Structure 1
Amino acid sequence: MRVEALYLMLAGGVGAICRYYLASTVQRLNSGSFPWGTFVVNVVGCLLAGFLVTFFAHRFHVSPAVRNAVLVGFIGAFTTFSSFMVDTLNLVRHSHWVAGFINLFMQNLAGMGAVVLGTLAASNM
């Protein structure tokens, strides 16, 4: 196994554990049906992703293996929503406004549609 893959695996494991504990703690502290745990994880993940992408690019240079372990492994396992938001931000930053808004709209629409279809498929088994 390559060292980079080991870094990704370890960081991903830590990210998944952090997601589980943060989301479940937030959800337990809030009553109601709104998914506050997921909401908080996604927003925190986006905040961390934005911070780390900028920090690694301009303030603290790390090897590509470490960068990928943190951003793809940890943040990716913590929340993939952050990757989607960074991709959308990069489109907008490069003046691809229409593509950015299409990405924003289509990811949400397709994601919701996929969740509904998956739920229907599992319900009809």
Structure 2
Amino acid sequence: MKMLMAVAVGGAVGASARYLFASQALRLMGPNFPWGTIGVNLIGAFLMGVLIELLALRLSVSPEMRVFLVTGVLGGFTTFSAFSLDIANMLERKDVALAGLYAFGSLGGGVVALFFGLWLVRTVLS
């Protein structure tokens, strides 16, 4: 039960952070491109890289704290289902090029951001 509660509380924190980020992105950048979704996915991928490497190399945390951070906070913060909906909406608008650019930028950028997070922690800690 403690693990489930850790995930639930972390998910609330992550989802709230996602909402705040996405609403600010919409306000600042406008509605023509899902900047909020791509932003949280890239930031989330980077933070996942940093967190996983820190947990592996330096941080000794309880299993509850690990699922709170990884599954809860970052799981609530990143938005793969929203990403999928964004692509579907672009395709329904017949904006195939933008949908492709968005998919490539999100997936490719996410992998690059995750590796950057791993590299950063390894560099700083070595």
- TM-score (normalizing by structure 2): 0.61
SS in 2 for 1:69: helix
Residues 1:74 and 2:46 aligned together:
no
Percent of paired sites with the same residue? 38
* Alpha-carbon shift at residue 115 of structure 1 (Å): 4.1
- TM-score (normalizing by structure 1): 0.62
Amino acid across the alignment from 1:33: N
Q: Report the number of matched residues.
A: 87
Distance 2:58 2:9 in 1: 24
CA distances 1:92-122 after superposition (whole Å, capped 9, x unpaired): xxxxxxxxxxxxxxxx9xx57x947xx8xxx
Matching residue of 1:58: 57
CA distances 1:61-109 after superposition (whole Å, capped 9, x unpaired): 212221111100010010155xxxxxxxxxxxxxxxxxxxxxxxxxx9x
* Alpha-carbon shift at residue 34 of structure 1 (Å): 1.1
- The runs of 5 or more residues in structure 1 that have no matched partner are 82-107, 120-125
Residues 1:48 and 2:43 aligned together:
no
Matching residue of 2:28: 29
The structure number with the bigger radius of gyration is 1
| Runs of 4+ that moved beyond 2 A | none
Question: CA 1:23 to 1:80, structure 2 compared with 1: closer, same or farther past 3 Å?
Answer: closer
Amino acid across the alignment from 2:54: F
- The runs of 5 or more residues in structure 2 that have no matched partner are 93-126
* Alpha-carbon shift at residue 19 of structure 1 (Å): 0.2
Report the RMSD for the aligned CA atoms in angstroms.
2.3
Distance 1:10 1:62 in 2: 17
Distance 1:14 1:32 in 2: 25
SS in 2 for 1:62: coil
Higher relative contact order (CA 8 A, sep 6+): 2
